[in-house]
Structure 1
Amino acid sequence: MKRAITVVLTLVACALQGTAPASASAPAPTSASIPAPPGLTSADVSFTGFGGLTLHGTVLAPAKAARPVPGVVLVTGSGAGVPREHLLTEATEFARRGVAVLIYDKRSAGYSDFRRSYSELAVDALGAVGALRARPGVDPAKVGLWGLSEGGWVAPLAASRSADVAFVIVVGGNAMPPIRQQVWNEESALRRAGVSGSLIEHGKRNFARLGADAGLFAEAFFDAEGVLERVRQPLLGVWGGRDLQTPPEDNPPLFARALRRGGNTRYTFRFFAGADHAAHTTPDGGVTRGEALAPGYADLVGTWVHDATSGRPPVADAATPSKQDHASAEISPSPWWASGWMQLVAFALFVVAFTAYPLVALVRRLRGRTVRPVSRWARLLAGAGLTSALGLFVYIFYLMAAGRTPDPGPVLGGRPLPWLVLQTLAVAAVAAGIATAVAWRRAAATVPAGERVRLGLLVTAGVVFVPWAVYWGLLIP
């Protein structure tokens, strides 16, 4: 059953996105050597990651250093096979602050939209740490990890497993499960379009749960706080004030709480007003990423790394977090009655019951047999119930496929017009179900046995439809 849910949702999601499911065995792309920026050296390296996969990277380092320098491995955000050049700006600026920096091509083998493992990515990151520690001119006792976005889950996990990691830096990082962060991300896009109410608070959130149930949301409930409790190294957290992907106000207190529970007070939190998710400048409030780093960000990293690796670690140094437009919501796994299994059963019932009623009537008419309907309301129940059930999943799939730039349609009172139509159909289906049940009961003695089965299936679907529609927000303002 779970496999069936997964296959159906995967195919529909891929159709809406216009893509095929990503291959878990696709080879990682390789990059040409990166020329050394002025004042720096550039050297290509290779190392072994999870499963024996060979990964390739480049080390940028100060050209003239009187003594071995600290080092940092940059762990990028989500996406399969992200090339090392994606973090070239960060690598160049950090290296100019006296730090050797390793950037590498992210794996695509074993990583796709629907399958990823932070544990495996952590093994890759530790392989990179080992490669950087072995480089001439790098102090092996002063090599740490920097993680952006998804890397903000991976870097602390790697650090919690190895004393070879001297420090941790997270940028746009999360101390919350990925499902909570992602739902906040998608909600933010809809709220910017003027949407509020049940589509966000029920439709989107429960759809994310369903995806996790079906195995389409990899690492959905990853225990980020549990990992941070095991981190003993100094940690620098950086967030942009216009981060539209990660809640910049909710996360720092979660980081502090988890680190303190583990006895670690060696952390620094800093916030850059006007910067985006990656602490880059942004021309439009976080929607578009500029090429340059936020002013002062690279200086902060350089100074902090030198201090943290020279016997001057921070002590619970946290500035006031940036304000975010709305709070994120904790999201738990689906209860049994709303699980993927139960959703599939309910949906199958709707399709069979709501489709069977008009089909039986059509077959009878073609055969020249007519049976007076118990109630005209039954037709409305079948039509409105099926349309609203199918329409809900199609509409939410459409919004999901749009990513950070959804077009929900015209918005009236916080509700998109397509959502209002679906809600109207749901209300009509409920009203028609009640009227059909009443009419059936009044005429029960005169209804033929075959018609009783047909009506019984339809009314049963109508009864199940009510709590289902409430759960998905179709019957909630």
Structure 2
Amino acid sequence: MRAAAGLLALMAGLGSLQPVSAAEKTARLPWSAPATTEVVTENSRFKSGGAELAGTLYMPASRKPVAAIVVTHSASSPLRGGSLYDHLKTILPALGIAVFTYDRRGSGESGSETAGGNFTILADDAIAAVEHLKTDPRIDPRRIGTWGLSQGGWISPLAASRSPDIAFVIAVSAPVVTADAQMIFSSTNHLKANGYSQADIDQMVAARKAVDGYMRGTVNRADAQTKLDGIKTKPWFKYLYMGETFCDREVSGWRKEIENDPLKNLEAVTVPTLVLYGADDAVVPVADSAQRLKNVASRMPKLQVHVIAGADHAMAMSADLKTSLDPKNDGTERPDSPEYFALLSSWLATQGLVGS
């Protein structure tokens, strides 16, 4: 376990952690020695309900079946090639663990029909990916788990609560509050980081609560739209991840999101679960989330929670607050916290998932 943790702490200083194949490396540096870890990269397709999804397996060479992790997506990184997932493709095969990433439905090579905000559909897609891996004789079907960050940290526990085939869960930067509460927290910090006034923040919160109230059936649609019309021309509106209008509540994907309580999903998980937060996360209310988990800890003996000093929402320490919250950088996140790497590897080793 110490060796695994030390390996990842060392890797934290090695730059971008982008996966590089042996062939690419040899072509660039013909004097390179052969790598100890050999990784086979394979593309495949699998079915989930009526959808066909496209994924890629990063498989370490091994004489016996290995553990595997299915990656569930953050909202801003729907593609399997997202930089957010590069560290997993590099680190985990070196520990003897396979990694499977796939394009979220409606993105990349996974068709054009999205889940429409339905987390159950996205969770079932992850379950379908697990079932797909179970058919591979190189993978131990009893040691397949999920990893997800942010929205993926909601999807992974939900999938585990719906399937007995998921052996463990890793949820990173997963708010244990409803989506509307999380977005008010995030939007408030976006405005603060960009120097806007408390009056602007108050107006934003009022508009958000009006729209969310409509979705919950406590505010009429006209009043909610009026509140939204009052902020849609503000220079800070771009930081809110809101449209200038909204769907009828009967068909709204946002309504489905805010009606989902992630704590209930977590409480339904009976397998080993690791929840990791960044202490400097400006997107997720970490203090509230950690407290809610502490309140149920006695009922969840297989749950471990860690808050990582200096890390932000993407488990990065290198970006300043304004940069990390800038929407133009969505999808470019890259974890670089040594403590995150160390905790991840040591927990995997403790669970008996690291290969020999």
TM-score w.r.t. the length of structure 2 is: 0.69
* Structure 1 position 300, deviation (Å): 2.5
Question: Is the CA contact (8 Å cut-off) linking 2:148 and 2:170 kept in structure 1?
Answer: yes
Decide whether the 8 Å contact of 1:129 with 1:165 is kept in 2.
Answer: yes
Measured in 2, the distance between the counterparts of 1:293 and 1:41 equals: 24
For 2:66, the aligned partner's letter is: V
Larger displacement relative to structure 2 (289-298 or 97-106): 289-298
Say yes or no: does 1:243 pair with 2:271: no
State the partner residue of 1:352: none
Deviations along 1:414-438, one digit per CA (max 9) or x if unpaired, are xxxxxxxxxxxxxxxxxxxxxxxxx
Give the aligned partner of residue 252 of structure 1: 290
Amino acid at match of 2:302: R
- Secondary structure of the corresponding residue to residue 174 of structure 2: coil
- Cα–Cα, structure 1 residues 259 and 232, in superposed 2: closer, same or farther, change >3 Å? farther
Change (3 A) 1:57 1:259: farther
Question: Which of 81, 85, 91 does residue 85 from structure 1 map onto?
Answer: 81
Equivalent residue, structure 2, for 1:71: 68
Give yes or no for contact 1:155–1:170 (8 Å, CA) kept in 2: yes
- Indicate conservation of the 8 Å contact 2:282/2:312, yes or no: yes
1:181 aligned residue: 182
Matches within 5 A, 1:44-55: 44-49=43-48, 51-55=49-53
Q: Structure 1 residues 290 and 165 mapped into 2: Cα distance closer, same or farther (>3 Å)?
A: closer
C-alpha contact 1:45 1:57 (8 A) present in aligned 2: yes
Task: State the alpha-carbon separation in 1 of the partners of residues 42 and 140 from structure 2.
Answer: 17
Structure 2 residue 114 is matched with structure 1 residue 111: yes
| Equivalent residue, structure 1, for 2:149 | 148
Shift of 1:82: 1.8
SS at match of 2:274: strand
Residue 265, structure 1, aligned to residue 268, structure 2: no
Equivalent runs, 1:355-366 vs 2, <5 Å? none
Q: CA deviation at 1:166?
A: 0.6
Percent identity, please: 29
Alpha-carbon offset, residue 60 of structure 1: 0.9
For the residues of structure 1 that align with 2:101 and 2:159, how far apart are their CA atoms? 16
| Pairs aligned (count) | 269
Specify whether residues 42 and 281 from structure 1 end up closer, same or farther in structure 2 by C-alpha distance, changes over 3 A only. Answer: farther
Amino acid of the structure 2 residue aligned with 1:100: A
Distance in 2 separating the partners of 1:250 and 1:136: 43
Label 1:286 to 1:67 Cα distance change in 2 as closer, same or farther (>3 A): farther
Q: Contact 2:193–2:321 (CA<8 Å) still a contact in 1?
A: no
The answer to whether the 8 A contact 1:143-1:164 is kept is yes
Q: Which residue of 2 aligns with 1:437?
A: none
What SS class does the counterpart of residue 287 from structure 1 fall into?
helix
Relative contact order higher in (CA < 8 Å, ≥ 6 apart): 2
Rounded to whole Å, the distance in 2 between the matches of 1:257 and 1:226 is: 13
Q: Does 1:294 align with 2:294?
A: no
CA displacement 1:387-429 (0-9 Å, x = unmatched):
xxxxxxxxxxxxxxxxxxxxxxxxxxxxxxxxxxxxxxxxxxx
2 CA distance for matches of 1:302 and 1:286? 30
Specify the alignment match of 1:164 in structure 2: 165
- Give the superposition deviation at 1:229: 1.7
Match of 2:346 among 298, 303, 316: 303
TM-score (norm 1): 0.52
Does the 8 A contact of 2:146 with 2:156 survive in 1? Answer: yes
Q: Which amino acid aligns with 2:205?
A: R
Mark the runs of 5 or more structure 1 residues left unpaired by the alignment: 1-33, 311-477
Residues 69, 172 of structure 1: CA spacing in aligned structure 2 closer, same or farther, 3 A cutoff?
same
Is 1:209 the counterpart of 2:209? The answer is: yes
Instruction: Tell me the secondary structure at the aligned position of residue 209 of structure 1.
Output: helix
User: Match of 1:6?
Assistant: none
User: Which residue of 2 is the match for residue 127 of structure 1?
Assistant: 128
Corresponding residue SS for 1:85: coil
2:97 and 2:280 map into 1 onto residues whose CA distance is: 27
- Indicate the structure with greater helix content: 1
Separation in structure 1 between the aligned mates of residue 145 and residue 166 of structure 2, nearest angstrom: 5
2:26 aligns to what? none
| Alpha-carbon separation, structure 1, partners of 2:131 and 2:184 | 35
Residue 287 of structure 2 aligns to a residue whose secondary structure is coil
Query: Take 1:143 and 1:284, find their aligned partners in 2: how far apart are those partners?
Result: 35
Question: Structure 2 vs 1, CA of residues 306 and 136 (structure 1 numbering), >3 Å: closer, same or farther?
Answer: farther
2: CA distance between counterparts of 1:151 and 1:291? 15
